[in-house]
Structure 1
Amino acid sequence: MDRRSFIAWGGAAGLSAVGSAAGFARWQEIPATVQYPGRDEGHYLRDRRALPKPSHVVETDVLILGSGVGGLSAAWKLNREGHRDFLMIDGPQPYGNAAGARFGDLACPTGAHYLPLPSPESTHVRQILADLGIIERDSFGEKPYYDERCILHGPEERLLFNGKWQDGFLPTEGVPAHELLEHKRFFAQVEELRRTHGADGRRVFVFPTVHSSLDPEWQALDRITLKDWLEREGYRSPTLHWYLNYCCRDDYGTRYDKVSAWAGLHYYCSRWGQAANAGNGAWLTWPGGLAPLAEAMATHSGVKRMAGTAVSLRRTQAGIEALCFTLEGGVPQTFVARARKAICAIPVYVAARVVEDIGAYGFDPKRHIPAYAPWMVANFLMKDFPREREGAPLSWDNVAYQEPGLGYVVSTHQDISVRPPEKTVFTAYVALSDRTPEEARKWLMKAGADELVELASVDLKTAYGWRFAPCVERVDITLRGHAMAAPLPGFRSNEGLKALREADGPILFAHADLSGFSVFEEAAWWGIRAAERAMA
């Protein structure tokens, strides 16, 4: 059975689950649970609440604080170089923004859900993927060969535009010819920028970003927004502007009239990885998003892990000492971890509260903490597939031409079984970019489950109307109030982040925030760099 007939079967099955428009009235009856990873621990740090005395002490050579991609990459590198004496303190949620969840046998993401094919400059990512068996051969060639199970299957993406599904996210059907010419011109310009080098000989847009050109001509892009750049270049197409705004909200959680033009263009111009067994621009994904990749990194590194969150991290004569705590049923328990070196793989806004005298590193929290965008991830457990509209079939990623929703991905899309699954999970993403981050966080703290479900389902209700609710068994919502650093204009010249990147002593820093935005390639780079310094 081919993929498209499979989807058609799913749509027909969904029809049987729909009785009438009255089913939509049952929307608010969908059982909902809400998760706030890190909220309680964060409030302990913010409010400086009293904690009990430590119950025990653990010792290691290298202590890794945080189990996100930065911490996992540090562990991978330490293990790869034969260094075995290291310990990881997970933080408030194992794997951070790469975390996932399960409904029985069905895996789903609660954070990031894909990884683009790494470009040739991202040798560090390619090495990780090769060690995990995801790249099967020719790891550093022009077109490595990837594990077929990890490459995104088609149909990949579709857009609900003018009441009909179309292939791809950039509107084309019914769009005037002059707008289509602008689309073509933009992507031709992107292709040219991918090949462009600055006066210093470096490529302008590269992962890791520290290898990008520092030519002032191109650095000037960090002084304006992406929208400013589009208007300066004469792009007027409403559909192109919508598409680029969507991409900024999707990658950075922030609108294109707020995001630095350098960061907005980097989104397109830095990623040009190829594969021997996939088309250009392909993605790697798993039913659980990046969680299976994070789990594989943890297993491969052999890292010993402990539950806990750091309250304070300070230098001592022997190295470092970290006070950590756990919350079990709201009751805190503390312990002390001592080591020769600490790799601080936690968000910068948290590190500013945890690392004692962080100002000594050249980092001023009042001036150098980046803006953070909040996110909502909602996993709808589907007991049936709702009936589809005409046009392109159900795809891995499905987006409506509107805001603030970012669409939804289908967890069973990678399922290659002969028979279609009886259930699936639709994972809806919402970047609350229609309001300021501060307003969004306040709203998330006050909103009830019904309000959260209403916002989380905005794209799904647009796509399916009253036919959607009867197909839903339950929904689990994850709220991330400080999900990712937002690369606003000027982020490339943040001297405080530069100082943390260059720190080389008992306390080392390793997080995507050091680059000013949150992506796997950057987090992995800083984790590896910190591990190298820890072993030096």
Structure 2
Amino acid sequence: MSRRGFVLGGAGMLAGLPGCGRLPWRSVVPEVSRPGMEAGHMLRDAGAIPAPSGEVRAGTVILGSGIAALSAAWKLARAGRKDFLVLSGPEFSGNAAGGRFGDLPYPCGAHYLPLPSLESSHVREMLADLGVILRGAQTARPYFDERCIVHAPDERLYFRGSWQDGFMPSQGLSPEEAQEHKHFLDLVQDLKTRRGNDGRKLFAVPVALSSRDPAWTALDGKTFRTWLLEQGYRSATLHWYLDYVCRDEYGARHDKISAWAGLHYFASRGGQAENASDGAVLTWPDGLQALARGLKERILQVHPAAFMDGMAMRLDETAGGVEVLCLQAEGASRRALRIRADRAISAMPLFVASRIADLRRFGFDARDHLPSYAPWTVANFLMDGFPPEDAGVPLAWDNVVYQGRGLGYVVSTHQDLRVAMPPKTVFSAYHALSARDPAQVRDWLAKCGTEELFEEVAGDLQQVYGWQLRRFIEAVSITVRGHAMASPLPGYLSNRGLQALRETDGRVLFAHADLSGYSVFEEAAWWGVRAAERILG
């Protein structure tokens, strides 16, 4: 973790704003966190690891502590198993991580979960166990804890100088543009109920339950933008919206993402609730960290010694099971442990797993089968009060800027049920750095200064609030993820390496959202539960 102080609104930032030097700018020390980067570079560069100083035994060792790992451990604990060990890795909960400014929590990763559809029965079971679903977990319309359902206003778009309700541009459109928007929405509404020649829904979550009808999977051979143009969609506002969706969901632009994946986003989910409108989402002040924390609590209730600090540096099969070399770090000191187990669940991203084990013997060759990974940032701004808003729709839970640099910002205190606005809040700004090649972006992220990084991640907020923004910022915490998520580029459905890992059922099992080709809670949980079910027989 690195820290560099600078004055927000310093002389270089105030150029062109006469008289602004007399305003009360705040001096802050931005905090930049790069979880897993040091350990990842050690793996990449084959850094020296000390000889093991001890040994631990377990029935099953789970490598990682993201949602896939936690889901596997939760499933094992639900079955009463106490012979497993979760190796936490460099960051507990991974893309579901969270943080705090004092008593104000905020997300460092994913911030919401759509209402789970009937196909996502594993998620419904989990939410019922965590008290998020209060009744009817496997019915068409479960009843959810209303504190978790996003409150209105839920989303707005800063479009052509004013705020409008919803993310899809709707104000001042030509009749032709409005008709294109309607035609696309009608199409995806129809696709939600369509089935392929194998009887399955064309698009489902988890992806593994989607139809493999070749007439539709052929869409995976082209980009989403190409398919849209072939279908006659020309509207600039529609293309911006669909590009935004791809950057938000997949970390890459719609001219890079598979057409099948582009349609999957819209047509796969259909979760409903007895006490929420269709299309509602579940959210918490610290995002999905709330679910990760709940899963850990449930696991510890059954198995108090389930978690161990450390990161897997090597995974090998042996005559009697598996052996894991674990590196533990405390400050500047490091020590290694050997973990012997009957079986292992590799719940790490595949770019990490391919460094600690020879995945070619499972049918996965990183040179040919490794997904493309999108770099992301999540910047949390502690706000001392709320900046004044322009006319239009009031401040919402999720706020997006048309043609903005980032993906907008979420208000962490939005779910607060108090009538009055709290004195402080957190704006969480999301940014998929998709304008350049991911490798180029990772190189820039490794070299850029804190001030340069701040200017990038604060772009949407500065566009909305202008110079007034800096009068309200009290602290800034920026989380940088160089390999945040796999992006489903054309051909990902037919990736033979991913298919091989999905089917592996031996001493080593694989469980990660990477197996689905993109990173969302439901997919990670699916593979974690599946791996645990194989352990349980």
TM-score range, shorter chain: over 0.9
The separation in 1 between residues aligned to 2:468 and 2:299, in whole angstroms, is: 46
The residue that corresponds to 1:524 in the other structure is 525
1:71-470 paired onto structure 2 within 5 Å: 71-302=69-300, 304-355=306-357, 357-470=358-471
The separation in 1 between residues aligned to 2:26 and 2:430, in whole angstroms, is: 19
Partner SS for 1:55: strand
The residue that corresponds to 1:502 in the other structure is 503
Partner SS for 1:195: coil
The separation in 1 between residues aligned to 2:229 and 2:404, in whole angstroms, is: 21
The separation in 1 between residues aligned to 2:73 and 2:470, in whole angstroms, is: 43
The separation in 1 between residues aligned to 2:24 and 2:431, in whole angstroms, is: 22
Partner SS for 1:280: coil
- Structure 1, residues 327-375: CA drift from partner, whole Å, max 9, x if none? 33343221111111111000011100112x3211111111010100000
- Structure 1, residues 416-468: CA drift from partner, whole Å, max 9, x if none? 12332110000001110111101110000001110111001000000000010
The separation in 1 between residues aligned to 2:289 and 2:157, in whole angstroms, is: 26
Does the CA contact (< 8 Å) of 2:168 and 2:241 recur in 1? Answer: yes
The separation in 2 between residues aligned to 1:193 and 1:458, in whole angstroms, is: 36
| CA gap 1:506/1:421 in 2 versus in 1, 3 angstroms | same
The separation in 1 between residues aligned to 2:207 and 2:485, in whole angstroms, is: 17
The residue that corresponds to 1:513 in the other structure is 514
Does the CA contact (< 8 Å) of 1:274 and 1:281 recur in 2? Answer: yes
Does the CA contact (< 8 Å) of 1:157 and 1:168 recur in 2? Answer: yes
The residue that corresponds to 2:36 in the other structure is 38
Relative to the length of structure 1, the TM-score reads 0.94
Amino acid at match of 2:33: Q
Does the CA contact (< 8 Å) of 2:59 and 2:84 recur in 1? Answer: yes
Alpha-carbon RMSD across the aligned residues, in angstroms, is: 1.5
Gaps of 5+ in 1: 1-18
| CA gap 1:176/1:227 in 2 versus in 1, 3 angstroms | same
The separation in 2 between residues aligned to 1:253 and 1:332, in whole angstroms, is: 34
The residue that corresponds to 1:51 in the other structure is 49
The separation in 2 between residues aligned to 1:458 and 1:353, in whole angstroms, is: 36
Quote how far apart the aligned CAs of 1:55 are: 2.0
| CA gap 1:257/1:94 in 2 versus in 1, 3 angstroms | same
Quote how far apart the aligned CAs of 1:27 are: 6.8
The separation in 2 between residues aligned to 1:22 and 1:137, in whole angstroms, is: 56
Does the CA contact (< 8 Å) of 1:23 and 1:467 recur in 2? Answer: no
The separation in 2 between residues aligned to 1:372 and 1:140, in whole angstroms, is: 34
The residue that corresponds to 1:11 in the other structure is none
Partner SS for 1:388: coil
Does the CA contact (< 8 Å) of 1:31 and 1:473 recur in 2? Answer: no
Quote how far apart the aligned CAs of 1:29 are: 4.0
Partner SS for 1:154: coil
The residue that corresponds to 2:12 in the other structure is none
Quote how far apart the aligned CAs of 1:23 are: 6.3
Segment of structure 1 superposing worse, 286-295 or 325-334: 325-334
Does the CA contact (< 8 Å) of 1:485 and 1:516 recur in 2? Answer: yes
Amino acid at match of 1:131: D
- Percent identity reads 56
Quote how far apart the aligned CAs of 1:83 are: 1.6
| CA gap 1:28/1:416 in 2 versus in 1, 3 angstroms | closer
Does the CA contact (< 8 Å) of 2:125 and 2:137 recur in 1? Answer: yes
Amino acid at match of 2:414: H
The residue that corresponds to 1:15 in the other structure is none
The residue that corresponds to 2:483 in the other structure is 482
Quote how far apart the aligned CAs of 1:21 are: 6.3
Does the CA contact (< 8 Å) of 1:386 and 1:464 recur in 2? Answer: yes
The residue that corresponds to 2:3 in the other structure is none
Partner SS for 2:445: helix
Partner SS for 1:465: helix
| CA gap 1:516/1:153 in 2 versus in 1, 3 angstroms | same
- Structure 1, residues 190-231: CA drift from partner, whole Å, max 9, x if none? 011111111111110011111111111011010011101111
Does the CA contact (< 8 Å) of 2:26 and 2:471 recur in 1? Answer: no
Partner SS for 1:56: strand
| CA gap 1:359/1:28 in 2 versus in 1, 3 angstroms | farther
Quote how far apart the aligned CAs of 1:49 are: 1.1
| CA gap 1:315/1:25 in 2 versus in 1, 3 angstroms | farther
Quote how far apart the aligned CAs of 1:250 are: 0.3
Aligned residue-pair number: 517
The residue that corresponds to 1:10 in the other structure is none
The separation in 2 between residues aligned to 1:23 and 1:235, in whole angstroms, is: 48
Partner SS for 2:192: helix
| CA gap 1:462/1:25 in 2 versus in 1, 3 angstroms | farther
The separation in 2 between residues aligned to 1:21 and 1:46, in whole angstroms, is: 50
- Structure 1, residues 479-500: CA drift from partner, whole Å, max 9, x if none? 0000000100000000001101
- Structure 1, residues 112-144: CA drift from partner, whole Å, max 9, x if none? 000000011111111111111111011111110
The separation in 2 between residues aligned to 1:96 and 1:491, in whole angstroms, is: 23
The separation in 2 between residues aligned to 1:312 and 1:56, in whole angstroms, is: 15
The separation in 2 between residues aligned to 1:28 and 1:454, in whole angstroms, is: 16
Does the CA contact (< 8 Å) of 2:404 and 2:459 recur in 1? Answer: no
Quote how far apart the aligned CAs of 1:26 are: 7.5
Quote how far apart the aligned CAs of 1:297 are: 0.8
Partner SS for 2:53: coil
Does the CA contact (< 8 Å) of 2:26 and 2:473 recur in 1? Answer: no
